[in-house]
Amino acid sequence: MKKGQELNLIINRVKYPNVGIGSFEDQDIRVKNVLKGQEVLCRISKKRSGRVEARALEVIQRAPNEQPSFCEHFNVCGGCMLQTLSYEDQVKAKMESVRNLFDEACLPLTFNEMIHSPEHFEYRNKMEFSFGDAFKDGPLTLGMHKKGHHHDVVNVPFCHLADADFRTVQTGVLAYATENGLLKYNKRSNIGFLRHLVVRKSKATGEVMVALSATTQAADADGNAFDQHAFAQYMLTLPLEGTLASLLYVKNDGLGDVVSGEIVCLHGQTHITEKILGLSFKITLYSFFQTNSHGAERLYQTAMDLIPNLDDKICFDLFSGTGTIGQIMARAARKVIGVEIVEDAVKAARENAKLNGLDNCTFLCGDVFKVLETVTEKPEVIVVDPPRSGMGEKTTAHIASYGIPEIVYISCNPSTLLEDLVVFGKYGYTASNVTLVDMFPWTGGVESIVKLQKKSM
């Protein structure tokens, strides 16, 4: 077998995250973004220390359980990898892929029944679109990066994960930008205007936030500045099912391809309000909030069921975002301390606690590791919910050093959960069960919840 060689491979198992594994001449070959049971034509891309990787070129034979895709953008926008499986089959596929990850790492866990997403379509409460072109120097587009391409952007006006208002906003903003000759930003030259469009919507209140991320350079080829008033007037004419509660212009002159910069409010407020398990949460542009609101209720409830007795306890909510988990705990706990690195989210968490009439919550801003070194209170309950990158050795060790009997770990990335569980293991903590919660139907993403228990040494 040589690098560059093409061969047909039957995928016999998939390991999280979307790594298909097939066998050729008794050698395992790893191919990304394929389904178990598919026969794919692939090209060997890497061969190193007994490990062979290949790139899928074409699906020769679909898996026996595949069904026709339902989306016009399938295979173009690069999302919704699992959409040719029925919902039941994708749930099984996710469970199997996470189980394979843990089994291969010799950390077998018992998998509880997977919690399903309450909604399978239009479940997302946030979408981030990019401005670009469908091909070099082609017409302006606004949507997702084309599968396998860093620069090309495809319009996704029929995305089934986004609700009707997201589609109205996306097509409306694209029409406005095209009619007014607004310039797209060029990442290589750093010249131009339009960069991203973020849309958020509260499932509970119907409030919609629209944030246009664009530079402070001239908005069109004639050198005119962005007409903020005209844009706001236009946006207010869009026929939304919900209400445009927050229209923002993010002055984004940064070099990175991320939404960041000073926020100018063009209409309404700088937040929308969502409700989770009977509590209200103000969500600002830069605050993390679970992207599937109804799924989040199941996620948080599943975590809370693992720690039913919070009465009069001191609880830590680490990586607290807008303080959702902490405030759910605060209804029973004596005191909650939340730690979060994004200032905006901490501010929102404090306001949310007030809004919810909870006076036993303190939200601290900073890196969990550093902040915990300054906190003198000792926790009796800890819930951690880190970002995809996980917690890392230092922070995990610090949390383990409290030595409390149980810690609940919510993770959006089973790979880093696994790494952190290995570290916890060194400090005497083990997990026996895991519950997966499907927050992202049709995609490979999944949330996991484990309860770590300290072995008596």
Ligand X SMILES: C[S@@+](CC[C@H](N)C(=O)[O-])C[C@H]1O[C@@H](n2cnc3c(N)ncnc32)[C@H](O)[C@@H]1O
Q: Which residues are tagged catalytic? A: 412
Q: How far is the CB of 288 from ligand X (least distance, A)?
A: 3
Q: How many residues bind ligand X (CB under 6 A)?
A: 20
CB closer to ligand X out of 153 and 361: 361
**Which lies closer to ligand X via its Cβ, residue 63 or residue 384?**
384
> Other CB atoms closer than 10 Å to residue 50's CB: what's the count?
7
CB closer to ligand X, 85 vs 263:
263
Binding mask 396-435 for ligand X (x = CB under 6 A): ----------------x-----------------------
Q: Binding to ligand X by residue 387, rule CB under 6 A?
A: yes
Q: Does 129 bind ligand X (CB under 6 A)?
A: no
Question: Considering beta carbons, is residue 105 or 341 the nearer one to ligand X?
Answer: 341
CB of 300 to ligand X, least distance (A): 7
372: part of which helix (H) or strand (E)? helix 368-374
Check residue 105 for interaction with ligand X (CB under 6 A).
Answer: no
Q: Residue 30 or 451: which CB sits closer to ligand X?
A: 451
Q: Which residues have CB under 8 Å from 217's CB, separation 6+?
A: 191, 192, 193, 253
Structure tokens that stand for 424 in this block = 């916890």
What phi and psi, each to the nearest 5 degrees, are found at residue 54? -140, 160
Nearer to ligand X, 101 or 318 (CB): 318
Q: Mask 238-277, x = binds ligand X (CB under 6 A)?
A: ----------------------------------------
**199 vs 439, which CB is nearer to ligand X?**
439
What Å distances lie between residue 418 and 99, 112, 260, 446, CA to CA? 11, 17, 31, 14
On whether the CB atoms of residues 161 and 79 are closer than 8 A, the answer is yes
What are residue 133's DSSP bridge partners?
A: 140
**Are 244 and 268 within 8 A, CB to CB?**
yes
In angstroms, what is the minimal distance from the CB of 325 to ligand X?
Answer: 5
Contact 251, 216 (CB under 8 A): yes
> What backbone torsions phi and psi does residue 376 show, to the nearest 5 degrees?
-90, -25
Between the two ends of the chain, the Cα-to-Cα distance in Å is: 50
CB of 205 to ligand X, least distance (A): 17
Taking the complex as a whole, the smallest distance from the CB of residue 93 to ligand X amounts, in Å, to 23
**Closest distance to ligand X from the beta carbon of 364 (Å):** 9
CB of 252 or CB of 293, closer to ligand X:
293
Q: Give 3-state DSSP helix, strand, coil % of the chain, rounded to 5.
A: 25, 35, 45
Q: Identify which of residues 155 and 320 has a Cβ nearer to ligand X in the complex.
A: 320
| Structural contact between residues 434 and 112, judged by C-beta atoms closer than 8 angstroms | yes
Q: Are 336 and 330 in contact (CB under 8 A)?
A: yes
Concatenated DSSP letters of 2-31: -TT-EEEEEEEEEETTTEEEEEETTEEEEE
Please calculate the CA angle 318-323-325 and round it to the nearest 5 degrees.
70
Q: Which of 138, 141, 96 is nearest to 114 (CA)?
A: 96
Site for ligand X in 26-65 (CB under 6 A): none
**Shortest distance, position 72 Cβ to ligand X, whole Å:** 31
Min CB(319)–ligand X separation in Å: 3
**E strand or H helix that includes residue 90:** helix 87-104
If one counts every other C-beta atom within 10 angstroms of the C-beta of residue 145, the result is 18
Site residues for ligand X, 279-338, by CB under 6 A, read: 288-290, 319-322, 324-325
Tell me the C-alpha distance between 78 and 70, whole Å. 14
Shortest Å distance, C-beta 321 to ligand X: 3
Query: What is the footprint of ligand X within residues 367-386 (CB under 6 A)?
Result: 367-368, 385-386
Alpha carbons 154 and 265: distance in angstroms, whole number: 28
Confirm if 302 and 437 have CB atoms less than 8 A apart. yes
For residues 329-348, which are near ligand X according to CB under 6 A?
339-342, 345
Residue 178 vs residues 163, 165, 174, 194, 254: alpha-carbon distances, Å: 23, 20, 6, 11, 24
- Cβ-closest residue to ligand X? 321
Give residues in contact with ligand X (CB under 6 A). Answer: 288-290, 319-322, 324-325, 339-342, 345, 367-368, 385-387, 412
